Amino acid sequence: MTAAADWLNGEFPGSSKTVTGELPASPGRVAVVMGPSTPASTPASARSALSALVRPPGRADARRNYDALLRAASEVIGSAGPDASLDEIARRAGVGNATLYRHFPTRRDLVVAVCVDEVEILCALGERLRSGEHPGRALARWLGAYIEHVSARRGLGAAMMTGRPDDSAVVAACREAIDTVGVGLLGPAQQAGEIRPDIALADLLRLASAVAVAAESDHADRTETAARLLEIVLHGIVIDRQ
């Protein structure tokens, strides 16, 4: 079995270690980032800029309602798109419409909060993998999560690309956070001699996005198709020592 297949199957060459920590599966997961930028910040500063885009409440009971609304919005917007019914989101969250509008006065406020939440989940996964896992395997697992992030729903990301300065700032912050984490995973894998040194993160994310789009056509088993295509991509970038 090749290094690429080993990583995707939960192991890496020369070890019996199994890696865990995938992005939690969610039928409502939404895609925010479709194209890479050039990272120029640390993971901490990129995440800080991302977090500054939202204002979750400090009170415990209010925060519970806020989080319930975010989860419901991710599911409903993920399946119905950014124009999904706000009444349905409030119903699924188990709160009244007044509570929804208290936390998110406009639809855009809710869309931004969902975008930020999704990207923070992806970035947190990348940071966990980087700190505790084999570098090549960590990169492969994160790319799989990135593909899931992109392929589940692309409408939300498109909704933010309006050209308006405030929306552009959200998109830029999301891209910066993802690119910063991606560089932190790709660099160690290249330094370890496992990934070709001529591979740039921008190209890798474009390939991953292409896998996500291609897998969408397989409605029967999108996840399996994406995994198979990702393995083909990894075969092209991995330095296999066997």
What is the number of other CB atoms lying within 10 angstroms of the CB of residue 49?
Answer: 17
pLDDT tens track for 64-104: 999 999 999 988 988 888 889 999 999 999 999 999 999 99
- Structure token pair of residue 114: 């969902």
Does a structural domain hold residue 119?
Answer: yes
Exposed, middle or buried, 112 (CB in 10 Å: 0-12/13-18/19+)?
buried
CATH of the domain at 211: 1.10.357.10
Q: Which residues contact 227 (CB under 8 A, 6 or more apart)?
A: 8, 144
21 — pLDDT class (breaks 50, 70, 90): very low
Does a structural domain hold residue 61?
Answer: no
Does a structural domain hold residue 155?
Answer: yes
Does a structural domain hold residue 88?
Answer: no
Which range marks the domain in which residue 154 is found? 3-10+39-53+108-237
pTM: 0.78
Q: How many domains does the chain have?
A: 1
Does a structural domain hold residue 196?
Answer: yes
pLDDT tens track for 111-166: 999 989 989 999 999 999 998 778 999 999 999 999 988 876 566 777 777 778 88
Does a structural domain hold residue 86?
Answer: no
**Confidence (pLDDT) at 5:** 56
Does a structural domain hold residue 145?
Answer: yes
Closest among 178, 173, 169 to 201, alpha carbons compared = 178
- Using DSSP, state whether 195 is helix, strand or coil: strand
Residue with tokens 């204002």: 55
Does a structural domain hold residue 187?
Answer: yes
**Confidence (pLDDT) at 161:** 76
Are the CB atoms for 3 and 236 separated by under 8 Å?
Answer: no
